Chain A
C-alpha cells in the first residue's frame, strides 16, 4: 500500500520534466554540429546547452527517480507509512529550488562549464550552489532511507529485510559516499574561486575529487534499474526470483567496488601515477562480477517464467515468454543495451586500450548506451509499473507503451552505434563545430547524420512516454491491488547476518577508498606549486 502518493508523483514528474527538456536540448546539440545544419557561429550557445543537458540528465533526473522509487519501496516493502514525510517534502523543495538556481545562470551563459565542472573553468557561483542544493536534498533522502530501515529493524528484530528495501538502502549509502568527492571539490575548491575568495585552483586535485564521484554516480543511477530487475520483473512476467541471497550479494558488491575505481576517467591525466591507474583499472574490471551475477540471476528468473508458461526445451522457454508485456520488452532491451555498452566499457576501463578512444565520441556513445539506454528504459518501466498504484487509474494503452519502448531502443541504438564508430575514427567529443568538408573528417559526416536521426527517434519516444503517463492520469479509476515485489524460488526466511545489514560492506568500501584514493589525494594536497589561475566563463567582455 502506497501512502505518500503525491510525494512520489511529485518526484517522478519533476524528474520527467527535467528529462523532457534535456532530451530536446540533446537533439538540438546533435543537429547543430552535424552536416545537416550550418555552423551556429557562436559556440557559447552549444556549451550552454551541453551544460544544461548534462546537469539535468546526470544530477536532477536520476536522483529524483531514485528518491521517488525509494520512497515507494519503503512504503510497499516495509508495509508502513514513510517516517519523515515533511523532511521528504523539504528534500523535494531543495532539489526543485537547486535545479532552478543552477539552470538560470547556465541559460544566461554565465556557467558554461559542463556538468563535470572542468576547473580551472569557473562559472557563476549560483550554478554550483544549485548543484549543492540538489545534493543536500538527496542526502535527506539517504538519511530517511536509513532511519526507516532502522525503525523497521527494531520493530522486527532478526527478520530478513525485504530485498527491495535492502537494495534501496544499499543504493542510498552508495550515493552518500559517492557524492562526498564532488562535494569536497565544490565546497573547498570551486566555490571559493567562484565567490572570489581565491583566484587560483588546483585543477589536478579537483579532477581527482571529481573522479571519486564521477564513476560511482553511474552505479547510483543503475540502482533503481537493478532493483527493478530483481524485484519487479520476475513478478510482472509471472516468474520467480531465482535467488534472493545472490541479489543481495550483487548489491553489496556494488557498494564495495563501485567507488574506488574513478581514476579510470583520468588515464590521460598527468597528476596521477601509473600504478594507481592500473589498480583502479583492476577494480573497474571487478564490477563485472556483480553485473554478471545479475545477468545470470535474472536470466534464470526469466527462464522460470518461461517454463511456468509452458515453454520446454533448451530454447522453447524463450518463445513462451510474454513478449507483449512492457516489462518483458523493457528488460530485454535493457539487457541488450547493457551488453553492448558493457562490451564498449571494457575498452574504456583498460589502461592501454583507452588511449585509442580517450575523449572521443566513443565515450559519449558508451555512456548514452548504458545510462540513456539500459538504465533509463528501466526507469520508464518502473514508472509504468508504479503509475496505476500512484494514480488509482489503469494504464490502458499498452500499444502506446510498447511503441514507446521499441522506439527508445531503436533510437538509442541508431544514436550510439555511429557515435562509437566515429570515436574510433578519432572524432573528439565536446566540440561544437566540425568542418566536414575537410577530407580528414569527411568520413564522419554520414554516421553523424545517422546519430541525429537516432536522436530524433528518441525525442518522439520521450514524447510518447510523457503522453502515456498523462493518459494514465485521465483513464478510468480502478482500485489497484496491493503493490507487490517478486517472490524468490526459496523465500528468505533467514539470510546471513552479513547480507541483512551493511556494516561489513561499508567498512570495506571505506577501506578500499583509503587504499585507492588516500595516497594520490594526500600527495597532491602536499604539493604547493600546482594551482593555476581560475578562468571565469561568461566574464565581462
Chain B
C-alpha cells in the first residue's frame, strides 16, 4: 500500500484524505495545488511591476519630497559606500524575488508537464524559496522602522506607494510556494 508523508506534521500515512496524526488534509490533489499556486504566482507577478516602478520610500525635507524605488535605493547606498547594506538589500529585495519567480515558474511548469528531472535538486530548490521567501520583506520593515523614527517637523520619512505593492508581491509568492505541494515533485517519475 502506498505511503505518503503529511506536509503539516511529517507523519507517515496510508493514502487517505486526512492525516492520521494531525487530522489535516493530506490529499495529493495535483490540479488544485497547481491552480492555486499559479493563481498566487500571477498575482505576485502583477504586484511586482508597481513594486519596482513606484517609490518604496519618500523623504520630506522642508516641504520638498524625494522618493526612491528599490533599485534606486540600492544604487544610492552603493554610491555612499554602504556596500554591505547595498548587497543585503539587493539580495533580499531584488535577487530573491526574481529567483522565487524563476524557480516557482520552473516547478509549476515541470509538474504540470509531468517532466521528470533532477527531483532531489528540484525539492531542494523548493525548500530554498520557502526559507528565503519571507526575507524579501526586509525592505518593507526598514520602511516601517524609519517611518516611525524619522518624523520631525522639517524632515520626515514617509512610505512610498510601492511599499504596499512590494509587501503584497512577497505575500503572494509565499502563498504560491505554500500552495505548491512538494510531494508532487517527482510524483509522476516514481510511477
Chain A bound to chain B = no
